[in-house]
Amino acid sequence: MIIIAMVASCIVLVAISYVMLEILSGIVFVPETKVEEMYSRGELVITLEDTEIRSMHVSGDGRYLALIEGTRGGVGSVLRVFEIEGGHREVHSQEIEGSRLAWLGYTQYLVFDHQGDIFVLEPEVGTSENLTASSAYDGSPLPSPDGRFILWTVSQGSSVSGDAEFWVMEADGSGKELLAEAQALAAWDPAGGMVISLYDEGDGGTEGEYMDLLQTAVLGSKGWNDYVEFENEVEYIWWPTQDAIICIGPESIKGENTIKGVWSRVKPPDHVKKLGSTDGLGPEDTYYIFYPSRAEQRLAYVGRKGLEYFDYAERIIYRYPELGARPPLAWNEVGGAIYFVGADGIYRVALEGN
């Protein structure tokens, strides 16, 4: 009888184990990321009146702050460059018809789009050069991290829409070649030899179910290569280190009855590891813009609770709830600060430890 009872108990335990395994298999545990709140109010460094800042970046050497300013509701824009040392003195200004700019690696050369072409500017000299000069519409320049290459979008229409393509050229405009069909959320790998992007396969007719496909394209070979399928919606792709590709998107947290922004590290063919989550990012119907640092593996954004940045190395979020910050943001890693748009112009706030 004792043996029969023991066998019966084992059967019950095994049955319970299978039930628990079935329950737990449907639950994805997401670690909560530590948040440290900072209460600096920032410093107004450039006064602006009733304008819209469309793009803003600090040069890699920390010397210049460049921005594209447009009058709210207006068509034209002004590209302005300020020298940070000595009180943010303006050193260059020119009218443009464009909305994107970026510095070439750690150089003092600035690329921007203007009238459907890609230009490069040396602020100290004040002269710019047209790098594309084509009949197509060229826009959205995105230099590689080391500044050797420029990825940009080519469209045959009057704007970047329709059957657009990604092209790549060297920093001086030479070696232009087609990379792949244009997709969303393009990001360079840290070494500057590969681009990753997102192909949205839709929800297959089932509401709430996503199947986003991450794809890679290697310089010198045309077309996309499948990387990994991602079942949740992806809002941003970040490549902080050569062996780490991070996807950020909203997910419903089990047991909390809430939607948070979740950080996931992905590897082919189907490995996804949840790194953490934040209540500073919310549902998928809210639009966020993300700003990666150059070298310190940090990612900034303005979320539901103010300006935040995620430190990948430390696995911690620094939150500035009282700044009243608006995008765009700009990293000055040399000066240990983040620039942001505020009520009266451009502000600067020191990073943790600076």
- DSSP for 5-54, written as a single string: HHHHHHHHHHHHHHHHHHHHHT----PPPEEEE-----EEEEE--SEEEE
Residue at 7 is within a domain: no
Is the pLDDT reported for residue 332 higher than 60?
Answer: yes
- Compare 82 and 233 and report the one with higher pLDDT: 82
Which one of 5-19, 86-100, 154-168, 222-236 scores highest in mean pLDDT? 86-100
Residue at 182 is within a domain: yes
Residue 12 confidence (pLDDT): 38
Q: What is the average pLDDT across 271-285?
A: 85
Please write the tens of the pLDDT for every residue from 190-208: 999 999 999 865 544 445 4
Q: Give the up-direction half-sphere exposure of residue 248: CA atoms within 13 A in the CB hemisphere.
A: 26
Distances (CA, A) of 111 to 60, 65, 68, 140, 237: 13, 13, 12, 10, 22
Residue at 261 is within a domain: yes
| Domains contained in the chain, number | 1
Residue at 97 is within a domain: yes
Residue at 342 is within a domain: no
Rounded-to-integer distance, Cα 62 and Cα 83, Å? 9
**Residue 74: other Cβ atoms inside 10 A:** 9
Residue 285 confidence (pLDDT): 65
303, two tokens: 């979320």
Confidence of residue 73 (pLDDT cuts 50, 70, 90): low
Q: What is the average pLDDT across 294-299?
A: 92
Residue 35 confidence (pLDDT): 95
Q: What pTM was computed for the model? A: 0.86
Residue at 304 is within a domain: no
Sorted by sequence, the CB contacts under 8 Å of residue 193 that are 6+ apart come out as 218, 219
Is the pLDDT reported for residue 219 higher than 60?
Answer: yes
| Structural domain harbouring 125 | 51-292
Q: Cα-Cα-Cα-Cα dihedral of 325, 326, 331, 336, to 10°?
A: -10
Is the pLDDT reported for residue 187 higher than 90?
Answer: yes
Q: What is the average pLDDT across 290-306?
A: 94
Residue at 239 is within a domain: yes
Chain mean position to CA 250: 15
Distances (CA, A) of 280 to 28, 30, 335: 20, 15, 26
CATH number at residue 185: 2.120.10.30
Residue at 212 is within a domain: yes
Q: What is the average pLDDT across 256-280?
A: 86
Rounded-to-integer distance, Cα 39 and Cα 21, Å? 45
